[in-house]
Structure 1
Amino acid sequence: MSTRRRPPLAVLSVAIAVIQVVGTHFAALHQHRALPAAALLLLLAGPALLLLRRRAPGPMVAAAAAVALGYLAAGFPMGPFALSLVLAVVLALVAGARWWAWGSAAAFALGFWLLALQHSMAGRSYLVLAWVVVIVLVGELFRAARLRAAERRRAEAERRSHQRDEERLVLARDIHDVVAHSLSMINVQASVALHLAQKDPDPNKLIEALGNIKSGSAQALAEVREVLSVLRHDAPRIPSQRIEQLPALVQSVASAALTVRYEPPGALPGWVGERVENTIYRAVQEGLTNIVRHAQATRAEVSVALDEVRARVLIADDGIGAAAADEGNGLRGLRERVAQLGGRVELGAADLPGARRAGTAITVLIPAPREEP
């Protein structure tokens, strides 16, 4: 991350020194007065003190006030001699040295008022006092603006950090879903191929099992590459899993040992977008993966029902039940996905017709978004 470089400290001091010396010189000529060496030293001392604005803004503004007041007390020609004091007050307030800035401005105003009383210029002193108040208020405005800018930067940094965390969480869920499902399917097909090689020498069945392994691994590689492309910032993360892909997903899971019946939805309601379709696909994928890995089931049913009110997804089996395995990362990730859409995931016992035992049923409920009045 590139950082903005600050200008050198001496740039401001040199500019203010030139303005004060040249401006006061011409003002002295207009007043038909000479500008002694002591006055030049004081005119240069104020800008030199601005070099301390980052290390010691408090002492800087106090010393600048003393220099300006000493210039007045010495009776040197009038001019822009107090420009360094003005900047010192503003810079000190912006840097957070408020008590130093207010105290130094008050001390300068009091000293000027006392000098004005000595020279019978009380009326002029009130103008200077008002001028000092305006300078302090301007400094406070700059300070408030800087604080607001810092708060905006902090809020933006927190937003970006939260967004990065969300993106990492989404990628972690996607990688888990892709890898867990694909490896489970490959493991099943590899077991079938091993069984055929040992028990059934029919080459056609063996070739079919090996073909399923090849197609399943190719699909897994494609999905993993899609996720990795996001990590390389080669492509935006757009959900690509759709409801129309569910028949192929169900077919890839079904085997001689597991019969899977799929009940598709009708026409998709208008509120069902890419994100909802991707969540439904991942829900079915996670449910089928758990059935293959843990359920020891012979039958499974998948149904997706959509209407204008909600989406309901049911994945049920006749396996050994949910107690066979602890809730893992996949189901937790599914709950997180669904919760982001305002829905919930319910886990209970399945009641398939004709089943010899009660398996597991995963129900996903996603409400349609509410329209703002």
Structure 2
Amino acid sequence: MTGGGVTDRLPRLLNLVPYLLARPGIPITEAAADFGISERQLRRDLELLWMCGLPGYGPGDLVDLSFAGDTVTVTEDAGMRRPLRLTTAEATALLVALRTLGEAPGIVDTAAVRRATAKIERAVGDAGLTTVAVDLTREEEATTAAVRTALEQRRALRIRYYTAGRDAVSQRVIDPMRLLLVEGRGYLEAWCRRAEGVRLFRLDRVEDVERLDEPAAPPPDAEPTDVSAGLFRPRAEHRTAVLEVAPEARWIAEYYPVDEVVELDGAANAPGTARVLLRYADPGWLVRLVLGLGGGARVLEPPEVAAAVAERARTALAGLDEAASPQVGSTT
């Protein structure tokens, strides 16, 4: 966990007080290591906690800490004794991910995944949620089943795959290697014979899959993809665009690779409006994407793409006006 962003820092602050209450006199270095942040960041968090508390903000209302050498103890918790709990939606998402992991080949410790799943299921059951539904289309279910069978039988696949960055569909013959769950989405890692390299194929973008009779045979030197630092990494051919997206267009931040999503507050913006830093390879694809959103997105940068979107929109409107206007010499 990094220390800088609000989305990282707020949950950490809410969990920090109950954590310290359970470990009075804990060395600051040890606490920082447990939270995965630097000692300096932890001290900044503790300084902020000193200003947090209940309305009234007098003695007994604010969080109070005691330092002895390089250790810290909470002397007043201001009611922040309970750690964060999973909401029903969060527990559901976590269960779906764990179940996918438990069924995927190549999991190092399947028993640990099953134990974690059972614990969360019990907790969710105690909260009153008896079932967890996974909304998958028939196509996604069929794709996942075919991929798992191919992995088990070590068979090659022929797939029709949609590449979002190029807005193109291609046919590929691949040698499956493993299933991955990264950032909440399922991927098939495979050797792509056309590209002659290891590629990740997002399962919900596989439009058709056919299991072949020939065995899967990735080269011996085919290296698994390192996803420890995140799935999408900038490439030399990638460019970045800054878009302002309306609430109805927020889905693009989940469907396409983005580097940043910043909420835009204020009276001038509708709730849910955001600024998105989006990576793309083809300017023409980005122009089509923005136009297809029907006013749900506006290009802030780069200016040449913004100009191209505006020009295409003017041309389309002019064509509509021309089609709607009566023709000279026409009779009624």
Which TM bucket (shorter chain)? under 0.3
Larger radius of gyration: 1
Which structure has more helix as a fraction of its residues? Answer: 1
* Structure 1 or 2: more strand by fraction: 2
Q: TM-score, normalised by structure 2?
A: 0.20
TM, length-normalised to structure 1: 0.18
